[in-house]
Amino acid sequence: MVVKVKNLVKRYKEIIALDHFNMEVDEGEVLGLLGPNGCGKTTAINCILSLLSFDKGEIEVFGKKMSPDAYDIKRQIGLVPQEVSVFGNLTVRENIDYFCGLYIYDKNLRRRFVDEAIEFVDLKDYVKFYPKKLSGGLKRRLNIACGIVHKPKLIFLDEPTVAVDAQSRNFILNGIKQLNEEGSTIIYTTHYLEEAEMLCKRIIIMDNGKDLVSGTKEELKAMITTSEKIIVSFSEIRDETVSEMKKLPHVIDIEKDGDDYMIKFENGFNNLTNLLEFIKEKELTYTKLHSQLPTLNDVFLELTGKELRD
Ligand X SMILES: Nc1ncnc2c1ncn2[C@@H]1O[C@H](COP(=O)(O)OP(=O)(O)O)[C@@H](O)[C@H]1O
Task: Give the footprint of ligand X on residues 12-71 (CB under 6 A).
Answer: 12, 15, 17, 35, 37-43
Distance separating the N- and C-terminal Cα atoms of the chain: 33
Q: DSSP letter at 84? A: -
DSSP reduced 3-state for 31: strand
What radius of gyration, in Å, describes the C-alpha atoms of the chain?
A: 24
Quick check: 42 binds Mg ion (CB under 5 A)? yes
Of 32 and 35, nearer to ligand X (C-beta) is 35
Of 50 and 241, nearer to another protein (C-beta) is 50
Quick check: 308 binds ligand X (CB under 6 A)? no
Residue 90 interface partner, choices ligand X, Mg ion, another protein, none, CB cut-off 5-8 Å depending on type? another protein
DSSP reduced 3-state for 202: strand
Quick check: 60 binds another protein (CB under 8 A)? no
Q: Which stretch binds ligand X (CB under 6 A): 9-17, 137-145, 251-259, 263-271?
A: 9-17
Of 38 and 215, nearer to ligand X (C-beta) is 38
CB-hemisphere CA count at 13 Å for 146? 26
Residue 160 interface partner, choices ligand X, Mg ion, another protein, none, CB cut-off 5-8 Å depending on type? none
194: left (phi over 0), alpha (psi -120 to 50) or beta: alpha
**Among candidate residues 252, 182, 219, the one with its CA nearest the CA of residue 28:** 182
Quick check: 143 binds ligand X (CB under 6 A)? no
Of 21 and 265, nearer to ligand X (C-beta) is 21
Distance CA 4, CA 59 (A): 6
Quick check: 11 binds another protein (CB under 8 A)? no
Contact 150, 120 (CB under 8 A): no
DSSP reduced 3-state for 155: strand
Residue 39 interface partner, choices ligand X, Mg ion, another protein, none, CB cut-off 5-8 Å depending on type? ligand X
Quick check: 79 binds another protein (CB under 8 A)? yes
Least distance from ligand X to the Cβ atom of residue 38, Å: 4
Quick check: 83 binds another protein (CB under 8 A)? yes
**Among candidate residues 56, 74, 14, 20, the one with its CA nearest the CA of residue 208:** 20
Q: Which residues bind ligand X (CB under 6 A)?
A: 12, 15, 17, 35, 37-43
